[in-house]
Amino acid sequence: MKAGVPISSALLSSLLVTVWLAMAPGHAALATEAAVVPAGNAGRVLTDMAEFLAAAPAFDVTVKASHDAVQADGTHLEFSAQRRVKLARPDRLRIESRDSDGTVDIVTFDGRTLSSLRPAAGVYAQTGFTGDVDGAIVHFVRDLRMRLPLAMLLLTKLPDELNRRVTTLAYVEKTAIDEHPVHHIAGTTDSVDFQVWIRDGREPVPVRVVITYRGAAGQPCFRADLVDWQFAAPSDNTAFDFVPPPQARRIAFLNQVQTIAANPGESAR
């Protein structure tokens, strides 16, 4: 990432303000008025993407992800997962994920309750949380200690998060993915290197993300292709309702029980 240029908070902030003013009439206006971003302006491209997602009242996207898992002997194994994310602001979220080993998890939030279901195991965990999707995601990741890759992209405060985290940014090239022109952006935060390919045009969505954990052993990568973006409001909210299967048992999230230490001798059991 040495080719990247330092990007100051002030610069990103000014970019955000500029783009926000241009988009002030609302998201629909954004979709119709946003011009093709000139190649070479990495900050503008990234800001456009962040503002576009943050302002979207609803979206539906499929995330085809994979990650490197560094083994004890240093070798890399790649595991994959596919997630269908349905988000309807302010307070509806559903994420259905299927890992490469077939494990399915379904996370739902309906504005009052946050639930996670693993159908094959016949168990679910649930906690009350009143608020919006932003709050639910933060609670899910920070307090419940659950995993939600690319969670930042789901937040309305995505522009602020990027503004706060990005330390360098570079425009790599204009290229194409699935025959759509895209901007290839590379950047760094304090702890990771990232690349994002953002669609050129009226809907500047991220279509590919690669994150490299440069400080971790083996420098593993996370990769994701984001496909089938849809922005129509859901016709009904039943998709966000949590309906546990019959006989499903409720178990605990980490923060709902007090785990205790075993005696040292018990560890060998």
Partner 1 sequence: MKRAQLSVAALVATTVFASGFVAEVQAAGRLAGAAPMSRGGAIHRGGPAAGGSFAARDRGQGAQRQDSIAERQEDRREDWQDHRDEVREDRQDFIEDELDGDRDWDRDDDWGEVIVAGAVIAGTAAVVGAAAASTRHVYYNTLPCTATTLIVGGITYFRCGSIWYSQIYAANGISYAMVQAPPGY
Residues making contact with partner 1 (CB under 8 A): 65, 67-73, 75, 77, 79, 101, 116, 118, 121, 123-125, 138, 141-142, 145-147, 149-152, 161, 164-165, 189-192, 194, 209, 211, 213-217, 220-222, 224, 249-254, 256-264, 266-267, 269
Of 44 and 165, the one with the shorter C-beta distance to partner 1 is 165
Task: Answer whether 198's CB lies under 8 Å from 182's CB.
Answer: yes
The CB-of-26 to partner 1 minimum distance in angstroms stands at: 27
Residue 102 per-residue DSSP state: -
Q: How far apart are CB 152 and partner 1 at their closest, in Å?
A: 6
Task: Please report the beta strands in 35-179, taking only residues with DSSP state E, as ranges in sequence order.
Answer: 58-70, 76-88, 92-99, 104-109, 113-118, 123-128, 168-177
3-class state of residue 4 by DSSP: coil
Residue 112 vs 202, nearer CB to partner 1: 112
Q: Say what angle helices 42-55 and 9-22 make with each other, to 10 degrees.
A: 50
Instruction: Provide the minimum distance between the beta carbon of 158 and partner 1 in the complex, in angstroms, as a whole number.
Output: 10
d(CA 108, CA 249) in angstroms, rounded, equals 17
Q: Which of 67, 109, 102, 101 is nearest to 85 (CA)?
A: 109
| For partner 1, the closer CB: 115 or 203 | 115
Rounded Cα distance, 112 and 189, in Å: 33
Q: Given the complex with partner 1, which of 73 and 179 has the nearer CB atom?
A: 73
CA terminus-to-terminus distance, the chain: 47
**In the complex, least distance from residue 146 CB atom to partner 1, rounded to whole angstroms:** 5
Least distance from partner 1 to the Cβ atom of residue 111, Å: 19
Nearer to partner 1, 10 or 128 (CB): 128
Minimum distance from CB of 268 to partner 1 (Å)?
8
Taking the least distance from each CB to partner 1, the nearer of 64 and 174 is 64
Helix (H, G, I), strand (E, B) or coil at 120: helix
Using the structure block, give the residue that is written with the tokens 């930042």. 152
Which pairing describes strands 104-109 and 58-70: parallel, antiparallel, or unpaired? unpaired
Question: Is the CB of 194 or the CB of 197 nearer to partner 1?
Answer: 194
Cα–Cα distance measured from residue 169 to residue 121, given in angstroms and rounded to the nearest whole number: 44
C-alpha span between 268 and 48 (Å, rounded): 54
Q: C-beta of 70: minimal distance to partner 1 in Å?
A: 6
